[in-house]
Each structure stands twice: as C-alpha cells, then as structure tokens.
Amino acid sequence: MLMNNNEVILLKYGEIVLKGANRHSFETVMIRELRRKAEKCGSFDISYNQSTVFIRPLPGTTEEQFNSMYEAAGRTFGFNAFCRAAVFEKSVEGLRHGIREYIVPKLAGKGSFKCESKRADKSFPLGSPEISAEAGGLILSELDRIRVDVHSPDAVVDIEVRGDGIYLHIGQEKGAGGIPVGTGGRGLSLLSGGIDSPVASFMMAKRGMKIEYIHFDSFPYTSEQALDKVVTLARILTDYTGPVFLHAVSLTEIQESLRASCNEEYFTLLLRRFMMTISERIARNFHCSALITGESLGQVASQTLEAINVTDSAASLPVFRPCIGLDKEEIVRTARKIGTFDTSILPYEDCCTVFTPRHPKTRPSLEKVLAEQAKVDFPGLCEKAMVTVRDFGLK
C-alpha cells in the first residue's frame, strides 16, 4: 500500500545543538548513518536544517517501508525526539486544510488537546499565538466533545511554519539520544552472552563510540549454540551501532592449564587477566583505543574493587565500565528496551561458568595473583589463543 505523499519523518537534534565549530562533523556522521539505514528500508531523501532532520519518502514508497524507516530513525543516536508529520502549503488556507485533513482524524476520541506553534519563517502573516488560535478554533468546530487543556492535554498538536511549508504532527516520541556513532573513537567490547555486556556496549555506542566485539568460548565445554547466541546479540545491537566485527577466541587450553596448575580460588581472576591481555592485543590490531566490559561493582565475586584492580593491571588500555554503578534491575530494564534481554537469558553457558571455583577469592592481592599466574606460561598461552581467533562481520 502506497503511503500519503505529504508525510515525512522529523528528527530533532539532541545534545549536538550545543556543539560549536565542529557541529557540522557530527551532523555529517549522523546523516551518513541515516542514509545507510534508508538503503535497507526504501527510497528516501534526507536533509537537515535548523536542528531538524527531514526524511522524505520518494514516489512509490509503501506504508511498510515508511514504517520501517521510522523505526530505524528512532534507533539512531544523536536525536532527542522524532515524529511522523505531514507538510502543507505555507498559507493560512494551507494551515486550515492540514488541520482538517491530517490533524482532526487523529484527534477523534480524544478528550482534550492544546496547540503549540513555532514560526521559523517570520514572513508568515500570523504569529505563533495566532496560528495556535486559528488551528484550535478549527479543531473545536470540527469535533464534538473535545476541549482545550493547556496543562494536561490528551494530545499536543504541533505546528511548525518553515521555509518550505507548514509541518503538522501530534506529539513526538523520545529518540535514542546520545551522539552519533563514530564520533567518540573506537572501543572493543567483551561480549559474554549475558545481560550486562550488551547493555554496556549499547551505552558506549550511545556516547559515539564505534564498537567491535570480542567473545571468549571454551569449546567443547561451551557449545556452538552459545557462540550463536552471542552473534545474535551483536546483530541485534547493529540497529544502534551499525555494522560490526565480532572476534571469537578460544580459552579452552588456558582454562585447562589453570585447572591443572593453579589454586582453584584464583581461577576466575587469572582467567580475567588472560581475557584482558588478549583483548588488548585484538583491540590494538583493530585500532581500538579502549576496552569495554559489563561489570557492575559488587555484583559477583570477580567484580569487587580489589578484583577489578587485579584484572585491570593486565592491560594498559583504558577500560570503560558504563554499568559499574547500576543495579541489576536498571541493567535489565535497558536490556529489555534495546531488545537483547530475551536472547541474553537463553540457557547456554559462557566460558566464565566453566571450572568455576567453589570459593572464589573476593579480596585478592596482586602479588598473590601474580604468583599463581607464574605457574603457567602466560605469554605462550596468550599466543596460542591468538591463533584461534575467528572473525564475524555483522550488519
């Protein structure tokens, strides 16, 4: 079904309105990301002006394609709000026509409304209060049992008078926020398959970071389904991050060596040190300047302050932990919002659940951890793990 030709998608800038001389570079990245998404959805013209992006469907666009683009726009970082709007002739009669044709049907069944008007084009003969009065009066004459409520209306009618026409819409949805992906450097995220690490990846992408992923498996102790689960998580996140690479690394030989040679209570800490060292090597190979983990302070034994200090000392790159101050409920809420939760809770074990110590060390000293680490060939095992790397391109 073909859509209404005068409908468009409007996206309102978020914090990039505060940028100075480099604002254009943020806009360029944002528009490039929207155009990449548009190629998957259909044929659209995308432009920007006065802190607003306009996505206009080209002839032949279907309602389904338009809706798909609308959803994609809502998952694009850099925008605080977005909405579906219609454009009408820039005249008083065009305003009246738009209210009758586009707004009145959408208000059917509503108990109250208010009008909010912005006159970006000062040549329009009516001022903002007069535009609202004209539109409100017409709505009241067209609909029974509806009233004006400027404090708590059921619907807000937005009227924007711009250079090329009058844009009408009812309300707007909250956008993805943040800043455009690619404007905040590159980071390598340790993606375990649990609930926390996808949320951490999302949060850093929201701050403009271009994400790559590393996942550690322990086949045959972990299954191929466990790896498939992580690939699925990374693919879900591409709706926000754009195309990504996932690097899968085997820890099987490392874990078997730890079990054979080291004190059990240090297994998790030593494993985390291997993971950080290997992750840093992968990060540098792919020009990533930081590591990202999903740790939340005190959530499990390996996430005490002492344990985090011990694992951090195995890498020299900065480690970002955006979930560090969140409780589990907050993390789960975000996971549900971004669509990763249902996949994260699938019952496939990750490498951290293999050879789990019965009584893990929660207050370790670096000196004792290094003494345990010396019982295995740390550099040699890292080299062997690097040979196992498998790369997946996802988009």
Per DSSP, the three-state class of 27 is helix
CB 385, CB 252: distance < 8 Å:
no
The proportion of the chain whose per-residue pLDDT surpasses 90, expressed as a percent, equals 85
The proportion of the chain whose per-residue pLDDT surpasses 70, expressed as a percent, equals 97
CB 187, CB 108: distance < 8 Å:
no
Backbone angles phi, psi at 351, to 5 degrees: -65, -25
Q: What angle do CA 312, 296, 193 make, to 5 degrees?
A: 90
Closest CA to 107 of 64, 55, 67, 149: 149
The residue to which tokens 């466990």 are assigned: 226
pLDDT for residue 2: 54
pLDDT band at residue 228 using 50, 70 and 90 as cut-offs: very high
**Residue-wise pLDDT tens digits, 143-194:** 999 999 999 999 999 999 998 999 999 989 999 999 999 999 999 999 999 9
**Residue-wise pLDDT tens digits, 271-320:** 999 999 999 999 999 999 999 999 999 888 778 999 999 999 999 999 99
For the CA atoms of the chain, what is the radius of gyration?
26
pLDDT band at residue 351 using 50, 70 and 90 as cut-offs: low
Q: DSSP assignment, residue 196?
A: H
Q: DSSP assignment, residue 53?
A: E
The pTM for the full model equals 0.91
Look up residue 40 and give its two tokens: 């998957």
CATH level 3 topology of 186-394: Rossmann fold (3.40.50)
- Across residues 82-108, what is the average pLDDT? 96
Architecture of domain 7-174: 2-Layer Sandwich (3.30)
Which residue intervals of the chain bear CATH 3.40.50.620?
Answer: 186-394
Look up residue 193 and give its two tokens: 């398959």
Rounded-to-integer distance, Cα 242 and Cα 244, Å: 6
pLDDT band at residue 198 using 50, 70 and 90 as cut-offs: very high
Which residue intervals of the chain bear CATH 3.30.2130.30?
Answer: 7-174
pLDDT band at residue 348 using 50, 70 and 90 as cut-offs: confident
